[in-house]
């Protein structure tokens, strides 16, 4: 059997579980959301940063935390051909912080706070479901170098603005604080004291968490843990005065901006690098089967730059789940219109096809969208295609046109028709378009 036949029979590829193909109809929506986001980022003076999609396993493992789901269950890690332990990025913050330190972006020549945004794929080996994939995308921001609670608030405001800008309004903002290191130590002890007598009744995972990071028990979905979690001590009772002041200032600033929020003292977040303010924006949309899902989440991570070998530098940021956001935008019916097709060129024979190719190129160079036939359709089929694609103008090229070197141009909305020499089409399409379409619309 020849090789190619064998391949044809045997190979039936499917996309990997938990990934998605974004086809042109939907990618227009992605483009819309990304473009709107960039406009908002410009207004807030955030510049784009692009960092690698994979880095050393250690980088993600250390920053996310040994007991996080990301590290224990979800990392796409591998040994490369040089036997380096690498991982596909599960989130954006670690790579950006690494870049901040490696490029010495804390130096005096850089603006302060140093503010960046990113968009791109992230990878987590999770069980796929609505709004949860293994390859997913985030739009994220990070702001370095200021401890001010006003920056926490500004970052939250930026997130809210962005969601509003793409037409997503029905939102619930929940905030909490994880305090400073002294708060964490005191609260850590309080949690150990509280959970230790119930150790044997906790899930196996939480028994380990009790040793390594009791805070993480609060995030457990296991019913055996939930029984005890609901009466666990609240971190708000363990805040140092400094941590209390920071949180109070964030709340006051949110009030000043008329941003509604609820304080959720049980919120801990799935990553270990946070301290002080943490926040999530949730929405329960029919797009998610009316389940409440988090579309944006983030917080402050004041020790992370130092942990990565940089000077002590505070940081705050968030990540938006782009797939989730797209579902919401789709639900809100904010579909951008399909781009107009300015010109369709109908060619009635082979030679006309070659001329069509030349004219199409010239008209595109003048800034217009052009399509033509590549399927050897009969004239009727080509006109049908032009109609289906909503062409504003149709140029017809047949024997007569070639002989006289003129194009027959028809304005589809009015039926108005005109003969125009090829070289005018090539050199001055702008005026033809103005005359036929723009003036036609005013009539």
List residues binding ligand HAM (CB under 6 A): 91-93, 124, 126, 131-133, 136, 138, 140, 142, 270-271, 294-295, 297-299, 317-319, 321, 323-324
- Check if the beta carbon of residue 280 is closer than 8 Å to that of residue 179: no
- Check if the beta carbon of residue 409 is closer than 8 Å to that of residue 344: no
Rounded CA-CA distance 97/310 in Å is: 9
Q: Is position 138 annotated in a ligand binding site?
A: yes
| Residue 68 beta carbon to ligand HAM: minimum distance, rounded to whole angstroms | 9
Using DSSP, state whether 220 is helix, strand or coil: coil
Point out the residue whose Cβ comes nearest to ligand HAM.
Answer: 321
* 394 beta partners: 344, 410
Pick between residue 314 and residue 321 the one whose CB is nearest to ligand HAM.
Answer: 321
Q: Is position 183 annotated in a ligand binding site?
A: no
Pick between residue 47 and residue 367 the one whose CB is nearest to ligand HAM.
Answer: 47
Q: Is position 28 annotated in a ligand binding site?
A: no
| Residue 123 beta carbon to ligand HAM: minimum distance, rounded to whole angstroms | 9
- Check if the beta carbon of residue 168 is closer than 8 Å to that of residue 266: no
Distances (CA, A) of 442 to 106, 275, 434: 56, 60, 11
Q: Is position 91 annotated in a ligand binding site?
A: yes
Q: Is position 358 annotated in a ligand binding site?
A: no
| Residue 237 beta carbon to ligand HAM: minimum distance, rounded to whole angstroms | 25
Q: Is position 269 annotated in a ligand binding site?
A: yes
Q: Is position 317 annotated in a ligand binding site?
A: no
| Residue 280 beta carbon to ligand HAM: minimum distance, rounded to whole angstroms | 7
- Check if the beta carbon of residue 319 is closer than 8 Å to that of residue 274: no
Count CA within 13 A, CB hemisphere, residue 66: 7
Pick between residue 5 and residue 290 the one whose CB is nearest to ligand HAM.
Answer: 290
- Check if the beta carbon of residue 228 is closer than 8 Å to that of residue 201: yes
Pick between residue 302 and residue 401 the one whose CB is nearest to ligand HAM.
Answer: 302
Pick between residue 77 and residue 401 the one whose CB is nearest to ligand HAM.
Answer: 77
Distances (CA, A) of 74 to 99, 112, 358: 23, 34, 53
| Residue 55 beta carbon to ligand HAM: minimum distance, rounded to whole angstroms | 14
DSSP, res 129: B
Summarize the annotated binding site for L-histidine as residue ranges: 91-93, 124, 138, 142, 269, 273-274
């Amino acid at each position: 059997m020849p090789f190619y036949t064998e391949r044809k029979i045997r190979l039936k590829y499917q996309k990997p579980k938990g990934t998605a193909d974004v086809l042109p109809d939907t990618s227009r929506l992605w483009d819309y959301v990304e473009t709107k986001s960039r406009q908002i980022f410009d207004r807030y003076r955030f510049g784009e940063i692009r960092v690698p999609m994979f880095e050393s396993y250690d980088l993600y493992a250390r920053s996310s935390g040994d007991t996080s789901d990301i590290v224990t269950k979800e990392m796409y890690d591998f040994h490369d051909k040089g036997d380096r332990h690498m991982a596909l990025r599960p989130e954006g913050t670690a790579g950006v912080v690494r870049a901040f330190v490696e490029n010495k972006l804390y130096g005096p020549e850089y603006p302060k706070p140093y503010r960046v945004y990113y968009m791109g794929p992230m990878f987590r080996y999770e069980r796929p479901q609505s709004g949860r994939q293994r390859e997913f995308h985030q739009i994220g921001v990070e702001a370095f170098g200021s401890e001010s609670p006003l920056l926490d608030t500004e970052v939250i405001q930026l997130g809210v603005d962005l969601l509003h800008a793409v037409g997503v309004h029905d939102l619930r903002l929940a905030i909490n604080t994880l305090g400073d290191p002294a708060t964490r130590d005191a609260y850590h002890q309080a949690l150990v004291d509280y959970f230790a007598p119930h150790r044997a009744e906790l899930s196996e995972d939480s028994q380990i968490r009790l040793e390594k990071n009791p805070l993480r028990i609060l995030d457990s979905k296991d019913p055996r843990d939930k029984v005890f979690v609901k009466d666990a001590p609240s971190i708000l009772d363990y805040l140092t005065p400094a941590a209390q002041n920071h949180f109070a200032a964030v709340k006051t600033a949110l009030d000043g901006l008329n941003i509604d929020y609820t304080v959720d003292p049980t919120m801990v977040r799935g990553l270990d690098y946070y301290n002080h303010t943490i926040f999530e924006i949730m929405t329960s949309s029919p797009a998610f089967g009316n389940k409440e899902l988090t579309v944006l989440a983030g917080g402050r991570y004041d020790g992370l730059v130092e942990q990565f070998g940089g000077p002590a530098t505070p940081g705050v940021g968030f990540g938006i789940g782009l797939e989730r956001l797209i579902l919401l935008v789709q639900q809100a019916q904010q579909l951008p219109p399909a781009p107009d097709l300015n010109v369709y060129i109908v060619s009635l024979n082979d030679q006309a096809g070659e001329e069509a190719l030349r004219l199409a190129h010239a008209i595109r160079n003048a800034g217009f969208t052009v399509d033509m036939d590549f399927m050897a359709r009969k004239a009727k089929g080509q006109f049908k295609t032009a109609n289906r694609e909503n062409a504003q103008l149709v140029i017809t090229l047949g024997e007569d046109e070639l002989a006289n070197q003129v194009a027959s141009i028809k304005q589809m909305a009015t039926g108005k028709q005109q003969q125009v020499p090829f070289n005018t089409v090539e050199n001055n399409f702008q005026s033809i378009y103005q005359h036929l379409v723009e003036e036609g619309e005013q009539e």
